[in-house]
Amino acid sequence: MSDELKAVARERVGKGAARATRREGLVPSVIYGDKKPPLSIALPAKETALAANSDSFMARVIKLDVDGKTHTVIAKDVQRDPVKDFVIHVDFLRVGKGSTLTVNVPVHFINEEAAPGLERGGVLNIVRHEVECEVPGDAVPEFLEGDLTGLDIGDGLHISAVKLPKGVVPTITDRDFTIATIAAPASLKSEEDEEAEAAAAEEAAEGESEDAAAEDGDSTEE
């Protein structure tokens, strides 16, 4: 899937020029890579914010129309204002023909209703919201699907259980890493703790009774 954004080329660069661009309601940005010189551009702030607020923005191919010329890119870095959190700069990487990209692909979880552990009140503990993958430049997946079907409390979803699109390979290859687990609810943990404490108390009481009986036996022999 690809998005389209319109932009204009920027002739002036630097902090002063960037501030002036923002005052005009635009986001200063740059396109680089593919063995071509960097191109400074400016994007409409509203449209850029809408696109950047999507969880898959960094994993989508974008068609940038810069003064009528289309550039195929992917967002590599988004800088935000530390106080107001609005987008102040975006770095875009050119996607060349036949290129391979390293991107963080979001994980969407499906079939929660088919997970016995969640039906029993378990909690989905997401270990990785996204997975770093090497992907074809012309087929970047918008997201990966983590199927929770059949998972019970204490079970985990590993990368080996995720169906990966053709050409998509996780950068971590030395282990079957965990994507998510289903944890026991707090109420169930409390019940288990109470049962464990009761069993421990019962064992302690039995031990004390045995010790007392042994002492009585010793006294009788004397």
The percent of residues in the chain predicted with pLDDT above 70, rounded, is 83
Pair 74, 117 in one domain: no
Task: Provide the domain limits for residue 29.
Answer: 2-96
Mean pLDDT of the chain: 86
**Would 44 be classed as within a structural domain?**
yes
What's the pLDDT at 97?
A: 80
Q: Above 70 in pLDDT, residue 169? A: yes
pLDDT band at 14 (very low <50, low <70, confident <90, very high): confident
196: buried, middle or exposed (CB in 10 Å: 19+, 13-18, 0-12)? exposed
Sort residue 15 into left (φ over 0), alpha (ψ -120 to 50) or beta: alpha
Highest mean pLDDT out of 64-68, 145-149, 200-204 = 145-149
Pair 65, 133 in one domain: no
Pair 23, 54 in one domain: yes
Q: Above 50 in pLDDT, residue 100? A: yes
Entry pTM: 0.67
What's the pLDDT at 96?
A: 84
Pair 133, 162 in one domain: yes
Q: Above 70 in pLDDT, residue 192? A: no
What's the angle, vertex CA 154, arms to CA 153 and CA 158, rounded to 5? 115
What's the pLDDT at 55?
A: 81
Reported as a single tens digit per residue, the pLDDT across 110-164 is: 999 999 999 999 999 999 999 999 999 888 888 999 999 999 999 999 999 999 9
Looking at residues 175-190, what average pLDDT do you find? 85
The identity of residue 198, as a single letter, is: A
Looking at residues 181-199, what average pLDDT do you find? 67
176 vs 207, more confident: 176
What's the pLDDT at 99?
A: 86
Question: Could you say which of 48, 70, 96 is where a domain stops?
Answer: 96
Q: What is the 3-state secondary structure (H, E, C) of the chain?
A: CEEEEEEEECCCCCHHHHHHHHHCCEEEEEEEECCEEEEEEEEEHHHHHHHHCCCCHHHCEEEEEECCEEEEEEEEEEEECCCCCCEEEEEEEECCCCCEEEEEEEEEEECHHHCHHHHCCCEEEECCCEEEEEEECCCCCCCEEEECCCCCCCCEEEHHHCCCCCCCEECCCCCCCEEEEEECCHHHHHHHHHHHHHHHHHHHHHHHHHHHHHHHHHHHHC
Pair 9, 81 in one domain: yes
Pair 74, 107 in one domain: no
Looking at residues 33-49, what average pLDDT do you find? 93
